Amino acid sequence: MTIPGGKLIIRDVNTGSSTTLERRIHNRLGIAREGFPFVGIGLGLALLFLFLGLLFLAILAGALTLFVLYFFRDPERQVEIQEKAVLTPADGRVLGAWTLGSGENAFGTKAVKVSVFMSLLNVHVNRIPARGRISKILYRPGAFFAANLDKASEKNEQNAVFLETQDGRTIVFVQIAGLIARRIACWVREGDEVEAGQRFGLIRFGSRLDVYLPEGSLVAVQPGHSVKAGKTILGYLP
């Protein structure tokens, strides 16, 4: 895949054993496992400050811990699947939808791009947009511009996931790091069979998802719309 702004290189962004990745994908704890270290650090600091009699710092550390719990929340969602529907892979706000030329996307022909911006207040667990097979995963290092800027799609660190649907269509969804995001987590591997609405990754602290649909796809959202991963229909394949 060619994404404007540089050449993509292959890198394994899946960390941990298959069992570890499965636990993240099928998480039932209500909080993403990536948040556990931050919660532990926050609680430890709060208890330390309380023990030392530093009440203000203890309260501050406790408040930050509560925010971390909120940020890493991972709610269960019931997915309703419609024929040819593509679900949004991220919670957030639609930045826009564009028709791209053959040299600006992965398909070699015209394609449709839809971008979703995730603020600090959105759920940051990402979900698979349609049933199919992961055919390719490509990672590219980059900058950390604010994720709501157009140049973030071109310049920022990103991880592109290629999905082949059951009827032979290809969807590409790209996890893009934001201004203060420094960690892209991807829990699926090339060759995995996946279901619509299944968890597949997470981006820490503000980010963006770009979705590339094949030519002729119908976009079902408008700029400014609020969307939910695994719930909102982003568009329909041709």
Q: Which CATH architecture has domain 81-236?
A: Distorted Sandwich (2.70)
* pLDDT reading at 157 higher than 90: no
What pLDDT digit, counting tens, does each position of 61-104 carry? 999 999 999 989 999 998 888 889 999 999 999 999 988 887 77
Active site residue 207: yes
- Gyration radius (Cα) of the chain, Å: 18
The residue from 18, 102, 115, 207 that is catalytic is 207
Contacts 24+ apart (CB under 8 A), 62-71: 65/38, 65/39, 68/35, 68/38, 68/39, 68/42, 69/31, 69/35, 69/39, 71/35, 71/120, 71/124, 71/205
pTM: 0.86
Residues 106-139: pLDDT tens digits? 677 788 999 999 988 899 999 999 999 999 999 8
Cα–Cα distance for residue pair 1/20, rounded to 1 Å: 28
Task: Please give the angle made by the CA atoms of 37, 39 and 43, to the nearest 5 degrees.
Answer: 120
pLDDT value for 221: 95
